[in-house]
Amino acid sequence: MNGRATGPLVLAVETSCDETGVALVEDGRRIHANVVASQVALHAASGGIVPEVAARAHLRWIVPVLDSAWQDAGAGWNDVGAVAVTYGPGLAGSLLVGINFAKSLAWVHDKPLLAVNHLEGHVYAAWLADPGSEPEQPVFPLVALVVSGGHTFLVEMTDHLSYRLLGTTLDDAAGEAFDKVGRLLGLGYPGGPAIQRAASAATGGDIAFPRAWLGDSYDFSFSGLKTAARRIVERARADEGLPPDDPDARLAEATVARLARGFQDAVVDVLATKTIRAAEACHARSIVLGGGVAANLALRERLAAEAEARRLPLIVPRPGLCTDNGAMIGAAGARRLAAGERAGLDLDARPSLPLARRLIAAQSRG
């Protein structure tokens, strides 16, 4: 149980993908509860998310998750000032479970409803603080790199809730590449944490994977890397005399480690290099990192070293706040509440909701 809230709490609901999250957040910053029911085990068998299965699991877990959030916070409806919910982007069926749940709660308890963009939540995780901690806060102007399973982009923020898109992926998201290459290496779902674990056992980063620099743009592309990974894995299998498509004939553990390390290095190199370049071009006073792939240790360490060399504060939430959770939606929701925003009970799911659109080409180069 946490210290009692001194101000109203935002009750936040996140069900955009495969995590059922409910949180209670004060001031857009202090976490009083942040309960996440993960469906990872449920989707591991199929090697990826099955949308109908995900939506049904949200329905099954959302009430117990809310109950446990009340318990963790030692709070009740009298402490709540608003209900925030993710309305996109994400899986339509999953989003609808959270939206309808939040709407019902807001209506029954007569609280304002706030619609939050999931990607904005990933950015605002940088403002969160666990009980008893006072981490450094981001300062504007800042550059934020959001890297998740469905999204990879760089934005500049000169103030709260204002985004200028600097660059985005032209094909796969970084997390998607981790998941696909994880599968190629026989590491299972989700690939990101598994590749990180395998890579940490590598003795040398001696297998070179290609980097798509795309000139001086801040855009990303990971599909070529994915194709190269398939070729490199096939060659490694041939070298070890394994049949090409027998999943039970597995590469030696040391080979998997070296391949995982080479792949991870390539992704981290491109993400970190472009982020630092964008931060310098925008004269950023801080860098924010968010999204599931921001949980990656190699990425965190590389960016921390590069940012420190430039005396740029780097704000990276702890791994549990980088992957999907309700607290990040509460953090963003509180800003929207303060800005006077309210959503209606006609709020609908927006599966392809963007965070920011590119302005004009000349501006996107910073």
> Between 69 and 98, how does the x/- string for binding to ligand KG4 read (CB under 6 A)?
------------------------------
Q: Which does 333 bind (CB under 5 to 8 A by kind): ligand KG4, Zn ion, none?
A: none
Of 148, 152, 221, 255, the one binding ligand KG4 by CB under 6 A: 148
Q: Do 286 and 304 touch, CB atoms closer than 8 A?
A: no
d(CA 157, CA 160): 7
Of 117, 323, 334, 349, the one binding ligand KG4 by CB under 6 A: 323
> Between 124 and 153, how does the x/- string for binding to Zn ion read (CB under 5 A)?
------------------------x-----
Residue 64 CA, chain-centre distance (Å), reads 24
DSSP-assigned letters across all residues of 134-160: -PPPP-SSEEEEEE-SS-EEEEEEEET
Of 21, 93, 167, 291, the one binding ligand KG4 by CB under 6 A: 291
Which residues on neighbouring strands pair with residue 152, listed in sequence order? Answer: 147
Residue 49 CA, chain-centre distance (Å), reads 16
* 208 CB burial (10 A radius; 0-12, 13-18, 19+): exposed
CB of 238 to ligand KG4, least distance (A): 27
CB of 106 to ligand KG4, least distance (A): 24
Helix (H) or strand (E) holding 334: helix 326-338
Interface with ligand KG4, residue 292, by CB under 6 A:
yes
Cα four-point dihedral sign 227, 228, 229, 231: positive
Q: Total binding residues for Zn ion by CB under 5 A?
A: 2
Question: Nearer Cβ to ligand KG4, position 111 or 261?
Answer: 261
Question: Nearer Cβ to ligand KG4, position 86 or 286?
Answer: 86
Q: How far is CA 290 from CA 22, 96, 125, 175, in A?
A: 19, 24, 7, 12
Q: Which of residues 259-288 bind ligand KG4 (CB under 6 A)?
A: none
Q: Which does 178 bind (CB under 5 to 8 A by kind): Zn ion, ligand KG4, none?
A: ligand KG4
Interface with ligand KG4, residue 326, by CB under 6 A:
no
d(CA 100, CA 117): 16
Q: Which does 196 bind (CB under 5 to 8 A by kind): ligand KG4, Zn ion, none?
A: ligand KG4
The three-state secondary structure class of 309 is helix
CB of 118 to Zn ion, least distance (A): 6
d(CA 98, CA 115): 11
Q: What's the token pair of residue 45? A: 């068998």
d(CA 172, CA 22): 29
- The DSSP call for residue 79 is G
Interface with ligand KG4, residue 192, by CB under 6 A:
yes
Judging by DSSP bridges, how do beta strands 142-147 and 152-159 pair with one another?
antiparallel
Question: Nearer Cβ to ligand KG4, position 28 or 192?
Answer: 192
Of 98, 121, 149, 317, the one binding ligand KG4 by CB under 6 A: 149
Q: Which of residues 196-215 bind ligand KG4 (CB under 6 A)?
A: 196
CB of 359 to ligand KG4, least distance (A): 25
Helix (H) or strand (E) holding 290: strand 286-290
Interface with ligand KG4, residue 190, by CB under 6 A:
yes
Residue 144 CA, chain-centre distance (Å), reads 12
d(CA 189, CA 178): 10
d(CA 249, CA 39): 28
Q: Which does 290 bind (CB under 5 to 8 A by kind): Zn ion, ligand KG4, none?
A: none
> Between 146 and 185, how does the x/- string for binding to Zn ion read (CB under 5 A)?
--x-------------------------------------
Q: Do 18 and 149 touch, CB atoms closer than 8 A?
A: no
Q: Which does 295 bind (CB under 5 to 8 A by kind): Zn ion, ligand KG4, none?
A: ligand KG4
Of 79, 156, 172, 324, the one binding Zn ion by CB under 5 A: 324
Residues that bind Zn ion (CB under 5 A): 148, 324
Residues that bind ligand KG4 (CB under 6 A): 17, 148-150, 175, 178-179, 190-193, 196, 291-293, 295-296, 323-324
